[in-house]
Amino acid sequence: MASEQPATSQPSSSASSIMEVSESFDIKATYLKFLEDDKEMTMPVAAIETLVTLLGITQPSTSYELIKILENATQSLKKSVKNSISLSAGCDLFMRFVLRNIHKYGDWDSCKRHLVANGRLFVERAKTAREHIAENGLPFIRDDDVILVLSYSRTLHSLLLNASKKRIRFRVIVTESRPSNKGSLMAKVLREAGIPVSLVVDGMMGYVIDKVDKVFCGAEGVAESGGVINHIGTYQLAVLARNANKPLYVVAESHKFVRLFPLSPSDLPTEFPVQFSITEPEYELERSPRVDFTPHQYITALITDLGVLTPSGVSEELIKMWYD
C-alpha cells in the first residue's frame, strides 16, 4: 500500500490532547535555561532550540496536531517574555521552516525525524552566523579608526575582536547605555581584549560625534524596511551620526529579521510608554523603555551573515526566506 500524505485538514485527536502537550512542557523555563547555560546564545536561537526540543518530545499523530502544538507554544513564549521582538523573529522563522518542510515525506514518522534532524541543523547554522559577520565586517574597520558604539552586542563584540586579532589598530568610544548600563560591559570585554576604550555618559553623544570616524551598533531586530530595533538611544545616535556625516553600520544576524513594518519610533510597541507626573515616581529609570526604532534612512549598511546589505536588501532577503 502506498504511503499516505500527512493529513492537515482535520485533526485526528481532540483539542484537549493538544492543550495537554502544550501545558506539560514549560516552554518559558526551557527557553530561559538555554540562555542561562550558554551566555553567548541569542534570543532567537534560544527560541529555536526550545521549539526543536518541544518537537522532539511531542507525539502527535498528524501534522495538524504538530502545527497547533507549535503555534500554542510560540504564542505562550512570546507573551511570557518582555521585549520579545528578537525572540519572535526566531519563533516565526522556525514555524516557517516547519510549514515548508512538513509535506516532504509520505509517512508521519519520517516527516517528524526529518523536522527534528534538520531543525537542529538549522540551529547550528544560526549559531555560526556571528562568525560570518566577524569576517564580513572586517573591511569596514581600518587602522586609526575611532569607532562609536552604543550598548553591548555579542555580534559587534565578535567583529571588533576579530579586527583586533587581525592587527587592525583602532579605538572605541562606548556610551554607558542607560538604563541597562550595558555599555559598561562592552567597555570591559573590549579592554580585556587589549582594545583601547573610552566609556562616556549617554549625554556625551553629541560631544564626541565629531571625534569619531564611524558608528557601529547591534540589533534586537531588523524590520522589513531595513530599520533597526535596538537598545534605547540608538535612534538619537543615528540622527546625530547622519547630521555629522558619519556612517552608521548595523551588525545583525539574519535570524533577527522580523516581519514588522514600523514607520516611525512611535509605532514600536513598548511596555513602558512615556508618562508624566507632578511627583517623582519610584524606580523611574527602571521603568524606561528598553528599545527604540531607527528608520532605514539613517542606516548606511547592515553587516549580516548573508553579506553586507543596504536597508532595502533586507526586504529582498525576507521575501526569499518566506516565499521562495
Residue pLDDT tens, the chain, 324 long: 444 444 444 444 445 555 555 567 899 999 999 999 988 888 888 898 899 889 888 877 777 888 888 899 999 998 888 767 888 888 888 888 888 878 776 666 777 777 788 777 777 877 789 999 999 999 999 999 999 999 999 999 999 999 999 999 999 999 999 989 999 999 999 999 999 999 999 999 999 999 999 999 999 999 999 999 999 999 999 999 999 999 999 999 998 998 888 877 777 766 556 666 677 666 555 577 788 999 999 999 999 999 999 999 998 888 887 766
Query: Going from the N-terminus, what domains does the chain have, and what CATH number goes with each?
Result: 15-127 (1.20.120.420), 130-323 (3.40.50.10470)
Q: Is there a cis peptide before residue 281, judged by omega within 30 degrees of 0?
A: no
* Per-residue pLDDT at 132: 95
Q: Check residue 144 and give its pLDDT.
A: 97
> What are the angstrom distances between the C-alpha of 85 and each of 12, 34, 56, 197, 260?
34, 18, 25, 30, 9
Q: Residue 90: what pLDDT?
A: 86
CA angle 235, 134, 230 (to 5 degrees): 20
